[in-house]
Structure 1
Amino acid sequence: MADFAFDLKPKPRTALIPPPAAVSLARSLITELANTWHKGSSYPLGVQAYSRKLLGEKWFARISIHDEPWDWFKAGICDNHSQNEVDYIDTFESYSEIDPGESGWKGIHARYRLGFPLSIREMPEWILAIQPDPDVKEFFVISVPADVPVSKNTVRGRYASIEYLQELPDGKMKWTMAFTSDGGGFIPRFIQNLALPSTIAKDVPKFLTWAKKKYAAEQS
Structure 2
Amino acid sequence: MSNYLTITPLKPSEIPPEEDILKAADTLIESCTSWKQGKTYQKVVKTYSRGKGPGDGAPWHCRISVHKREEATFDLMWAKLGKDKAVNEKEFIPDIHKVTKVKEISASQNIWTLYYKFPPPVSPRVFTELQITQLSEASPRTGTIVSIPIDLSSPEDAELAKKEEKGVKGRYVSIERIVELEDGSTEWRMATSSTPGGSIPSWLAESTMASKISEDVPHFMKWLHSLPKEEAPKPTEG
The two structures have a TM-score, normalised by structure 1, of 0.91
The answer for the alignment partner of 1:201 in structure 2 is 214
The answer for the alignment partner of 2:35 in structure 1 is 37
The answer for the alignment partner of 2:188 in structure 1 is 175
The answer for the alignment partner of 2:66 in structure 1 is 65
Q: Is 1:52 aligned to 2:50, yes or no?
A: yes
Letter in 1 for 2:10: K
Structure 1 residues 109 and 125: CA distance shift in structure 2, 3 A: same
Structure 1 residues 18 and 215: CA distance shift in structure 2, 3 A: farther
The answer for the alignment partner of 1:131 in structure 2 is 135
The answer for the alignment partner of 2:104 in structure 1 is 100
Q: Is 1:78 aligned to 2:91, yes or no?
A: no
* Backbone CA RMSD of aligned residues: 2.1
Report deviation, 1:217.
5.8
Q: What SS is found at the alignment partner of 1:131? A: strand
Structure 1 residues 147 and 103: CA distance shift in structure 2, 3 A: farther
- Percent identity, aligned pairs only, is 26
Report deviation, 1:130.
1.7
5+ residue gaps, structure 2, are 154-160, 233-238
Of 84, 106, 124 in structure 2, the residue corresponding to residue 120 of structure 1 is: 124
Q: Is the 8 A contact 2:140 2:181 kept in 1?
A: no
Letter in 2 for 1:172: S
Structure 1 residues 218 and 106: CA distance shift in structure 2, 3 A: closer
Q: Is the 8 A contact 2:126 2:166 kept in 1?
A: no
Structure 1 residues 45 and 138: CA distance shift in structure 2, 3 A: farther
Q: For 1:22 and 1:64, locate their aligned partners in 2 and report how far apart those are by CA, in whole Å.
A: 24
Report deviation, 1:202.
0.7
Report deviation, 1:196.
1.0
The two structures have a TM-score, normalised by structure 2, of 0.85
Q: What SS is found at the alignment partner of 2:105? A: coil
Q: Is the 8 A contact 2:11 2:152 kept in 1?
A: yes
Report deviation, 1:127.
0.7
Report deviation, 1:14.
2.5
Letter in 1 for 2:22: V
Deviates more, 1:9-18 or 1:166-175: 9-18
Q: Is the 8 A contact 1:4 1:15 kept in 2?
A: no
Report deviation, 1:3.
8.7
Q: Is 1:166 aligned to 2:167, yes or no?
A: no
Q: Is the 8 A contact 2:144 2:178 kept in 1?
A: yes
Q: For 1:204 and 1:196, locate their aligned partners in 2 and report how far apart those are by CA, in whole Å.
A: 14
Structure 1 residues 106-136: Cα deviation after superposition (integer angstroms, max 9, x where no partner)? 1111110012111110011111122144775
Report deviation, 1:76.
1.0
5 Å matches for 1:14-25?
14-25=13-24
Deviates more, 1:98-107 or 1:44-53: 98-107
Q: Is the 8 A contact 1:119 1:155 kept in 2?
A: yes
The answer for the alignment partner of 2:204 in structure 1 is 191
Q: Is 1:145 aligned to 2:145, yes or no?
A: no
